[in-house]
Amino acid sequence: MVREVSRVPCAHLGAKAARKTEQVSHGSQAINRAQVREEALPALNALRLTMLDSAPVTLSPVSTGVSVPRRRFQRGSLVEKSGRWYGVYRRDVRKEDGTTKREQCWQPLGLVNEQSERSAWKQFQPFLDAVNEAAKKLAPRTGLALSDFVEEWRSSVAVNLKGSTTRAAASHLRARIIPKLGSLHLSEITTKVVQGIVAHLAGGGRSRKTVENVLLTLSSILRVARAWGHVCGDFRFADLTLPRDGVRVEQRAFTDDEVRKIIANALEPLSTIVAVTAVLGLRIGETLALRTSDVDFAKHVIRVRQTVDAATRTVSGVKSKASSADLPMSTELQVRLKTHVLRDDPKNELLFVNGRGRPFSANKLREKQLHPLLVRLGIPSGGFHSLRHGAASSLLADGATPAVVQKATPSLRRPDHPRCLWARHRRCSAQRGADSIGEAGELGANC
């Protein structure tokens, strides 16, 4: 049997007013009901003021999805169960991932046959005082929850970002951030809370790079929140302790001999796509976005100005300012591109298009043409980006220092390099790639 004994202050005022109303007589000396209401009105107003003038409240979402006040100051309740008094209250418990959950606590007190209700309340009061004192130290929960602000961020900020950036952020939010921090208000997202997320991700076997990507998404969103005037916690990326780096895996890079075999045995236009990507060190999206007008046969240069999104096949600007540049075109590559242009439909604006006149899908080219070709040739698996890494390896083989390669590899076209150094290494790399194309052509002819 469970019997709950609630202690509600000022409730006696309302009861007193009700009893006073019942004492109205029906005789000639009866007090007018309107007068009774007027006398009871101060007591009812005092009850309302007492209920409103309580401890600070927080915003807590309920099942309707509307934020309603939730009191931090607790008076608890006394429950009789199985012959014993229990004090019931709630407390906020911080979980391992940094989030907070409110749990109900039952504090066992004395036996009912040995302890009066008043004595049970007196024994229970120190526990309530400790909980209420801790609640005073907590910062008031004000403003938006992170999940609510993310919706604003998606509609106002994410629509202006690149497609790949938006997809990566959406993945981080859906799988990592919202499940752990979505219910917290912006002011509650502190460095300590985020450190719990770092520990949770690292404990799940996530690499340092993955953790950094998730944190950069969160940091970017909170930076926008601060710029919009929202009160945010003291989260700072620099104050976090990140997991250590694991064993570094070397990136796959095609050798010159492998590139020759691929070019010689691939069908068109894959053969020309591989040649352009390998010789110039382009990203595959930049190669597939080349326009016929970007190839200047008179000046022997190829202009890189746009890229194709791998998922949506939409054409957009290049990744960075350094990616936009004019690259030298070797004689052998020029001959191959002239042949391709003459064979292609002149109505196509892009240099490489599929049968429907749309840009090629890099994913489909890799899965349906490149990978089966590598298996047939006995070449270890690799993607189009392995051609780009191979270009960096060629720079090293041509005598370029690691410092130059480190600066050149992200774009392989930095115009701020010393002109003589840039021209010398690019000519060597282009000629090396041209030799590969020439030998590949001879192999193809002999086949």
3-state secondary structure of 16: helix
93-116: pLDDT as tens digits: 766 555 567 788 898 998 989 989
State which H helix or E strand residue 14 sits in.
helix 11-22
Q: Does the pLDDT at position 385 exceed 60? A: yes
What pLDDT sits at residue 14?
A: 47
CATH code for the part of the protein at 256-446: 1.10.443.10
Q: Backbone dihedral region of 281: left (phi > 0), alpha (psi from -120 to 50 degrees) or beta?
A: left
- Please name the CATH architecture into which domain 146-239 falls: Orthogonal Bundle (1.10)
179-207: pLDDT as tens digits: 989 988 898 899 999 999 999 998 888 88
Stated length of the chain? 447
What pLDDT sits at residue 344?
A: 81
What pLDDT sits at residue 356?
A: 87
Per the CB < 8 A criterion, the answer to whether 392 and 403 are in contact is: no
> Once rounded to an integer, what is the mean pLDDT over residues 203-212?
89
Q: Who has greater pLDDT, 138 or 286?
A: 286
What pLDDT sits at residue 21?
A: 44
What pLDDT sits at residue 162?
A: 85
Candidate ranges 127-131, 161-165, 284-288; pick with highest mean pLDDT = 284-288
DSSP conformation class of 244: P
Q: Does the pLDDT at position 57 exceed 50? A: no
3-state secondary structure of 350: strand
Alpha carbon of 92 to those of 132, 134, 247: distances in Å?
A: 11, 10, 40
What pLDDT sits at residue 41?
A: 63
437-446: pLDDT as tens digits: 555 554 444 4
What pLDDT sits at residue 151?
A: 93
Q: Tokens 């409110």 identify what position?
A: 102
Secondary structure in 3-state letters for 259-309: HHHHHHHCCCCHHHHHHHHHHHCCCHHHHHCCEHHHEECCCCEEEECEEEC
Percent of the chain with pLDDT over 90: 27
What pLDDT sits at residue 393?
A: 58
3-state secondary structure of 418: coil
Q: Who has greater pLDDT, 433 or 268?
A: 268
The residue among 323, 328, 280, 279 whose CA lies nearest residue 305 is: 323
List the domain boundaries for the chain: 1-53, 57-141, 146-239, 256-446
> Once rounded to an integer, what is the mean pLDDT over residues 248-263?
86
**What tokens appear for 200 in the block?**
């949770």
**What tokens appear for 387 in the block?**
């051609």
Distance CA 300, CA 282 (A): 17
What pLDDT sits at residue 133?
A: 81
What pLDDT sits at residue 422?
A: 37
387-415: pLDDT as tens digits: 887 765 555 555 555 455 544 544 444 44
- Name, in order, each residue with C-beta under 8 angstroms of 273's C-beta and a sequence gap of 6 or more: 284, 287, 288, 352, 360, 365
Distance CA 41, CA 58 (A): 30
What pLDDT sits at residue 81?
A: 87
Distance CA 278, CA 330 (A): 13
Per the CB < 8 A criterion, the answer to whether 81 and 100 are in contact is: no
Distance CA 252, CA 238 (A): 32
